[in-house]
Structures are given as C-alpha cells and as structure tokens.
Amino acid sequence: MIRRLYTLLPRPGLLLRLGALQAALAVLQGLLLGVLVPVLDALLRPEPDFGAAGPWLVIGGLGTVLYGVLAVLATPVGFAASMELGARLRHHLIRHVTTLPLGWFTARNRARLARAVTSDAGAIGQLAVTTGGPAITATLVPATVIAITFAVDPTTALLFLAVVPFAWPAIRRAGRVNAEVETELEEAAAGIAGRAVEFGQAQPVLRAAGQGGTGTARMRDALLAHRRVYRRGLRRALVPDLTFTAVVMAGFVAVLIVTALRLTSGELAVAEAVALLVLAVRFLEPLATLVELIGALRAMDNAVGRVRALLSVPPLPVPPDPVTAVGVPEVAFASVGYAYGGPGSAPALDGVSFTCPPGSSTALVGPSGAGKSTVVRLIARFFDADTGSVRVGGRDVRDHDPAALLADIAVVLQDVYLFDDTVEENLRIARPDATRAELLAAADAARLTEVVARLPDGWDTRVGEGGARLSGGERQRVSIARALLKRSRIVLVDEAASALDPENERAVADAIAALARDPERTVLVIAHAPATLAACDRVLVLDAGRVVEAGTPDELRAAGGFFARLDARQREARAWRLAARARQP
Ligand SMILES: Nc1ncnc2c1ncn2[C@@H]1O[C@H](COP(=O)(O)OP(=O)(O)OP(=O)(O)O)[C@@H](O)[C@H]1O
C-alpha cells in the first residue's frame, strides 16, 4: 500500500522526511524506556545511589528534551505533509482529466472525479499522516523495546517474543475484519451520498408525479442499510477484537507471573522487575493501536485505489509530431464507424461519409437516435472513431494537437453550462482580451443584447449555479455569443430543441443564422427549427447511423425523401399558425 501511495506522488520527499521523523521518535521512545532500567536500579535500592543514577537521569533528560523537540517539529511537518499531499493529488488529478477525451465526462465519471478531488485526495493526505505516523510508532516501539529488553534481561525478551506468534495472527485477523467492515461502511456511505444526490435532483420529477414520498423512502432505505452494515460490522469485529485483547492480556499476565516468581526467588531485583513490567506495557500497548490503524489504513488504501483508477484512465492519444494549425476549415468524414459499446456492438454510426466545405453551413437532420450528436462528438474528439477517418482541415483529427484543434472549434451544446458569475464573465471565457465593442457585437449577433437588457444588473447580473437564472434558449444564446467571440472557424451546434417558446426559438435560430452567414466559418448544426434549416446551405440526413440524403435544401426537396417530408410538415405547421393568427379577433 505504501508503494501504491508513493506511486501517486511525483516527489515523495516530504512523506519520507515525515516517516524518518516518526521512526526517530519511535526509536527514541524505546530507548528512553531503556534508560529507566539503570535509573530504577540505582534508585530502588535500600540505599538509593544518586551518583549512579545521575548520568542516566541526565541522558534521560536530554533524550526527553530531544523527543519533545522532534515531536514539536513533527506536528507542523505532518500538517504540511497532509496539506501538500492532498493539494498535489488534486493538482495531479485535475491536470490528468484535462487530457481526457470529453466523452469521458459522463454523469458517473463526473461524480467519481468530484469524490476523488474533494474527499479522497483530502482523506489520503490526512490519513497518510494521522495513521502513517502512528503505524510506524506502533511497529517500531515494540521492536525497540524487545531489543532493549534483550540487553537488560534476555529471559523476559524471549517471553515477549513468545507472545508474537499468538498476537500476530490475532492482529492480522482483527485487522482484516476491521478493514472489511471499513470497506463495507464506505460503500454504504457512498450509497447514501448517491441517494442524496438523486433525492435532490429527482425532486421536481417526483413531486410532479405525486411521488414525493418515494424519494424519501429510498433515502430512508439507504440510511437503514448503512446502520445495518454498521451494526453487523460491530458484531463481526467483536470476536476478533476480543481474541486479540485476550492474547495481549494473557501475554501480560504471563510476564507478570514469571517476573513475580523470579522476584520472589531472588533472581530479579525489585528495580529490574518494575522496569521489565513497564517495558512489557510499552511492548503490548502499541500492538493494540495497530489493530485500530489497520482499518484506517484500508480506508486510505481504498481512496488511493480510486484516485489511481482515475489517473490510469488513458488520455487522448497525441501523435509525436502533431498538426498545430487547422488550416482550411473543412470537415470531412470518410467511412466513419463508431459504436458506444465498443467495436462489435450496435453501431451509432456506420460507414458515414460526407464533406462540409470551408465556409459552408450544414444542417444535420434525422430521426431521434440517428447518430447526429455522435457526428458532432467525433469532430470535437469526445472520443475517436472505431473505423474510417474524421478529418478537419484535410488531416485526421487524431493527427492534430487536441488543444490546437479545440482552439479552432466551438461547440454549442443543448445543455449549456454557465459559471455562477456575471453574464459578461461567462462570455469572456471565450476570449478574455476581447474589447467591449467585440463583446457587444457578438452579443448583438447572438440576440443576447435583448436578454441582457431585461436582467436586473445588465451585463453584471450573476447567472446563478449552472446558469439557472437564464432559460435554456437564453443560455444557448450565451453559448453562441461565446462561439462568435472565440472566432472559431468551425462551429458545431446542437440546437436547443425542446421547451423553447416561439420567441426564444426564433432568437436562437437567428443567432445560429448569424454564425452560418459568415463565409469564413464552417457550421454544422443539428437543426430543429425551420428558420435554422432555412439558414443552412446544405442538408445531411442521417438515419440509423447512415447518411441517407445529402445536398442543398432545394435538391432534397425535389428528391422527396425524409427532408422533403420534414420540410412539408414544417411549412404546413407554419401555414396553420398564420391562419390561426389571422382568425384571431
Ligand atoms: N453515451 C451513450 N452511450 C451509449 N449509447 C449511446 C450514447 N449516446 C448515444 N447512444 C446511442 O447511439 C445512437 C445514436 O445516438 P445520437 O445521440 O448520436 O443520436 P441523435 O440523432 O443525436 O439523437 P437525438 O436527436 O435523440 O439526440 C443511439 O442509438 C443512442 O441510443
């Protein structure tokens, strides 16, 4: 486990220093106990010999001062090591996840990341110090005590050693059970955490369905399960813990009886007997601590395992000599195949080929599940194609430097995430050095200016957690304004489809049209609104992971396929709306 912990750290020097300090303290503690022997021997005579005790008392005093100094030094070193270890692990994790493909960031993986960065990294830092140090003490103090006892009285030392073959299996068993209980408790606690998140997230759905009590019941079940695991753990640990205590007590009683017998037979002096009993206590006591520590060490090992699992997720492969500039903003697919479940499972895309020439605007349409979002994700390298080639600027996306590629690509997703900051700062993320005029121009083109005008503090209005103070359409307009400000020459848009009121739908479509109008920019949009379709000069129809139609809107209207039917339906709906409006008094 210690090796596993060390592999997490690029520079484990601080932990080594702390370990050395703890080891020195443990050995010193054992040696100071050894000094007790001559001191007691000199002082517990019928005529106390202060002259003989003097030098040992001085050595003991100096040793105690040194112990105090080292202990004082160890506290800040331990605190610093704990903080630094946690901070380094967090840094390491964050740096690593920035190299992972965007497709990795599923809800489950985001939760894993949150747990690793918040609780696991902190717990590893803390436990490495709070359990690592005492574990060293609990091992080295008995070892030093045995060595000193050998020098003082080999018979008692052999008696101590005789306890080890009985104590060690008991420690291991109690430690193993405690560790298993710890793991089960952690899992039960994770279950509660998961249910709590679900409980919060599902509130609107549960209440709308009149099932407000359901979530509460599931939460209660998780709490009950945790309590059951806790009780079962206590019961399971009881016998091994008692066995260990019995072994330790039996060992102490054996030392006590043998020492008493040797005292009465005159083999040992009173001073020696007292000193040996003190050594016996200090030999057995740390072993008990070790049992408790094993559970905590397992908890740390579990956290180390979770952090290591995240750090071993392979990053996006980067070629040794990557393409660092996109060049011509052309997007092309050549016989691309991709399956979410890996090659061999049902494909989301199958032999997809098309080209979006530079400056073109292409509407991606097709029934639900056709593969439209997958096309967008493969261009932005959320993951890589299983077969064929996704090309940007004439080169496979895998040949590009991922950062350079994403510098020239803007992605506008349906579910736009905004930071809990002002509208202006949320826009400036795209280009922090943009001038005020550039900011306003992007906002105008994305029809964001009218949204800002309605907000209480205009540009300085905070948008709330995840942008909760804005509607879905308004958030998407912020995202489109970001894309405009970023001046990416390739823009991929998944148009907000649901829950948009007509005004918002029109505004989003206008904003997308503003993107599409620019002849320098290549736009690929998963289009839903008629106005968005009308703004595109090309259409690509996907069905069941294949391209079934491709061409200009006029060509496809004439072809009488999926697009022609969709277009006819949209025209009918528009005519119906106009007629309904005309009928209104
Ligand atoms: N993360 C995922 N894991 C597993 N399968 C997925 C995942 N995302 C999409 N799929 C599957 O891949 C296929 C294509 O999905 P995709 O999201 O690309 O379709 P779409 O045309 O964008 O659909 P929609 O219009 O409903 O968003 C579907 O069968 C879908 O179930």
**CATH number of the domain to which 459 belongs:** 3.40.50.300
What secondary structure does DSSP assign to 139-206, as a single string?
Answer: HHHHHHHHHHHHHH-HHHHHHHHHHHHHHHHHHHHHHHHHHHHHHHHHHHHHHHHHHHHHHHHTHHHH
What is d(CA 574, CA 453) in angstroms, rounded to the nearest whole number? 30
The number of the ligand 1 atom at minimal distance from the alpha carbon of 374 is 18
Alpha carbon nearest to ligand 1 atom 16, residue: 371
Are 297 and 426 part of one and the same domain? no
- Which residues are CB-neighbours of 370 under 8 A, at least 6 positions away? 542, 543, 544, 545
Is the per-residue pLDDT at 388 higher than 70? yes
Question: What is the rounded average pLDDT of the residues 130-156?
Answer: 81
What secondary structure does DSSP assign to 417-446, as a single string?
Answer: -B-SSBHHHHHHTS-TT--HHHHHHHHHHT
Q: How far is the CA of 371 from the centre of ligand 1 (A)?
A: 6
Residue 382: inside a domain: no
Mean pLDDT, the chain, rounded, equals: 82
Q: How far is the CA of 544 from the centre of ligand 1 (A)?
A: 10
Boundary (domain end) residue, out of 268, 283, 311: 311
**Which of the two residues, 217 and 313, has the higher pLDDT score?**
313
- Which residues are CB-neighbours of 23 under 8 A, at least 6 positions away? 136, 140
Q: How many helices (H) and strands (E) does the chain have?
A: 20, 10
Q: What residues make up the domain containing 458? A: 416-487
Q: How far, rounded to the nearest angstrom, does the alpha carbon of residue 499 sit from its chain's CA centroid?
A: 32
Cβ–Cβ contacts within 10 Å for residue 542, how many?
25
Q: How far is the CA of 369 from the centre of ligand 1 (A)?
A: 5
Residue 411: inside a domain: no
Question: Which amino acid, one-letter code, is at 244?
Answer: F
HSE (CB half, 13 Å, CA atoms) of 584? 5
**What pLDDT digit, counting tens, does each position of 113-125 carry?**
888 888 888 888 8
Site to probe by mutation for ligand 1, drawn from 102, 365, 373, 382 as the one with most ligand atoms within 8 Å of Cβ, is 373
Coil vs helix vs strand at 96:
helix
Residue 354: inside a domain: no
Ligand 1 contact via 369 beta carbon (within 6 Å): yes
Is the per-residue pLDDT at 1 higher than 60? no
Residue 439 buriedness (CB in 10 A; 0-12 / 13-18 / 19+) = buried
**What pLDDT digit, counting tens, does each position of 34-90 carry?**
777 777 777 777 777 777 778 888 888 888 888 888 888 777 777 777 787 888 888
Q: How far is the CA of 554 from the centre of ligand 1 (A)?
A: 28
Alpha carbon nearest to ligand 1 atom 26, residue: 368
Residue 211: inside a domain: yes
Judged by phi (left if over 0) then psi (alpha if -120 to 50, else beta), residue 250 lies in alpha
Residue 557: inside a domain: no
Question: What is the rounded average pLDDT of the residues 476-492?
Answer: 88
Are 420 and 306 part of one and the same domain? no
Question: What is the rounded average pLDDT of the residues 170-193?
Answer: 79
Give the model's pLDDT for residue 215. Answer: 63
Among 266-270, 306-310, 389-393, name the one with the lowest average pLDDT. Answer: 266-270
pLDDT band at 212 (very low <50, low <70, confident <90, very high): low
What is d(CA 290, CA 171) in angstroms, rounded to the nearest whole number? 8
Residue 235: inside a domain: yes
Give the model's pLDDT for residue 221. Answer: 83
Ligand 1 contact via 347 beta carbon (within 6 Å): no
Residue 85: inside a domain: yes
Q: Kindly state the helix (H) or strand (E) to which residue 355 belongs, with its residue range.
A: strand 349-356
Find the farthest-apart pair of alpha carbons in the chain and give their distance in angstroms, rounded.
122
The number of the ligand 1 atom at minimal distance from the alpha carbon of 366 is 21
ipTM of the complex: 0.96
Residue 304: inside a domain: yes
Are 301 and 423 part of one and the same domain? no
CB neighbour burial string for 142-165, b if at least 16 within 10 angstroms, e if fewer? bebbbebbeebbeebbebbeebee
Is the per-residue pLDDT at 459 higher than 90? no
Question: Which amino acid, one-letter code, is at 77?
Answer: V
Question: What is the rounded average pLDDT of the residues 450-471?
Answer: 83
Alpha carbon nearest to ligand 1 atom 23, residue: 369
Ligand 1 contact via 348 beta carbon (within 6 Å): yes
Sheet with 409-412, edge to edge strand ranges: 409-412, 490-494, 522-526, 361-365, 538-543, 546-551
Ligand 1 contact via 496 beta carbon (within 6 Å): no
> β-strand 538-543 against 361-365: which pairing, if any?
parallel
Give the model's pLDDT for residue 339. Answer: 92
Ligand 1 contact via 284 beta carbon (within 6 Å): no
pLDDT band at 183 (very low <50, low <70, confident <90, very high): confident
Q: How far is the CA of 387 from the centre of ligand 1 (A)?
A: 18
Number of domains composing the chain: 2
CATH number of the domain enclosing 253: 1.20.1560.10
Q: How far is the CA of 518 from the centre of ligand 1 (A)?
A: 30
What is d(CA 301, CA 287) in angstroms, rounded to the nearest whole number? 20
pLDDT band at 389 (very low <50, low <70, confident <90, very high): very high
What is d(CA 377, CA 373) in angstroms, rounded to the nearest whole number? 6
Tokens of 320: 């040794």
Boundary (domain end) residue, out of 293, 311, 329: 311
Give the model's pLDDT for residue 528. Answer: 81
Give the model's pLDDT for residue 581. Answer: 67
Boundary (domain end) residue, out of 437, 453, 487: 487
- Are the CB atoms for 306 and 3 separated by under 8 Å? no
Alpha carbon nearest to ligand 1 atom 28, residue: 369
pLDDT band at 286 (very low <50, low <70, confident <90, very high): confident
Is the per-residue pLDDT at 2 higher than 70? no
What is d(CA 565, CA 223) in angstroms, rounded to the nearest whole number? 54
